[in-house]
């Protein structure tokens, strides 16, 4: 991977958010653009109702995951909310070779690794309008048990504190507006290295 011409990594785009901020729905929307594709991660989390193996995630057990870590299959991996998640080198390389912008929908720990390995990558953090609204959204989606919801809400505070290290911060209040902004940030492949090195993220003006 590191032998590839590094210019290609300007097409790599990390999107992070606390659970329930609406990141996955926003990404699903903008992926109708043929210029964008999303890298499917591998996880030890059990599938939620309606999730499809190979589309939402590649679901594997912990033994297999740790074996793959040992074999250095992943470009980054992390333990998030008690489950392992990882991005395989092969899946990213294949998508980058198709000359598309490749979205990595990963947490802040993975984002930190990607930033160090690929400084040309672009990093976007999606915030909910408030923690109260985040809790409401997590409960309304009805996919997680109470224990899981509480753990994710607790972790949300840590995750939100990392937003300042991203290139862009986007608040998902009005969904259509957020979709438009996310699309423009994701496609901003001309962002210069100086812009990437700025101390403060670009925060959308409605924040």
Residue 133 backbone dihedrals phi, psi, to 5 degrees: -70, -35
**Beta strand pairing call for 202-203 and 122-127:** unpaired
Q: Which stretch binds ligand 5GP (CB under 6 A): 81-89, 118-126, 162-170, 176-184?
A: 81-89
Cβ proximity to ligand 5GP: between 45 and 117 the closer is 45
- Give min distance, CB of 205 to ligand 5GP, in A: 25
With a CB cutoff of 8 Å and minimum separation 6, the contacts of 13 are 101, 102, 103, 104, 121, 122, 123, 124, 185, 186
Smaller CB separation from ligand 5GP, 37 or 109 = 109
For residues 53 and 192, which CB has a smaller minimum distance to ligand 5GP in the complex?
53
- Which residue's C-beta sits nearest to ligand 5GP? 110
The whole-angstrom separation of Cα 80 and Cα 12 is 21
- Min CB(118)–ligand 5GP separation in Å: 14
Using CB under 6 A as the binding rule, whether residue 107 contacts ligand 5GP is answered as: yes
Q: Is 91 in the site for ligand 5GP (CB under 6 A)?
A: no
| 106 is a site residue for ligand 5GP (CB under 6 A) | yes
The number of beta carbons lying within 10 Å of the beta carbon of residue 173 is: 16
Minimum Å gap between C-beta 96 and ligand 5GP is 16
Q: Footprint of ligand 5GP on this chain (CB under 6 A)?
A: 16, 19, 41, 45, 76, 78, 80-81, 85-87, 105-107, 109-110
């Amino acid at each position: 991977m590191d032998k590839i011409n590094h210019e290609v990594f300007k097409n790599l785009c990390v999107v992070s958010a606390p659970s329930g901020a609406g990141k996955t729905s926003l990404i699903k929307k903008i992926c109708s653009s043929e210029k964008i594709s999303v890298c499917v991660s591998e996880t030890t989390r059990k599938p939620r109702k309606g999730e499809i193996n190979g589309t939402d995630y590649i679901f594997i057990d912990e033994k297999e995951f740790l074996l793959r870590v040992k074999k250095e299959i992943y470009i980054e991996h992390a333990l998030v909310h008690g489950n392992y998640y990882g991005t395989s080198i092969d899946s990213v390389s294949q998508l980058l070779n198709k000359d598309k912008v490749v979205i990595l929908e990963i947490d802040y720990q993975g984002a930190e690794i990607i930033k160090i390995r690929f400084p040309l990558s672009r990093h976007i953090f999606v915030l909910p309008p408030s923690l109260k609204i985040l809790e409401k959204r997590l409960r309304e989606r009805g996919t997680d048990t109470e224990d899981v919801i509480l753990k994710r809400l607790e972790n949300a505070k840590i995750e939100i504190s990392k937003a300042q290290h991203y290139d862009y911060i986007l608040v998902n209040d009005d969904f259509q507006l957020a979709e438009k902004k996310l699309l423009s940030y994701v496609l901003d492949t001309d962002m210069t290295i100086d812009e990437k090195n700025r101390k403060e993220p670009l925060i959308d003006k409605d924040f």
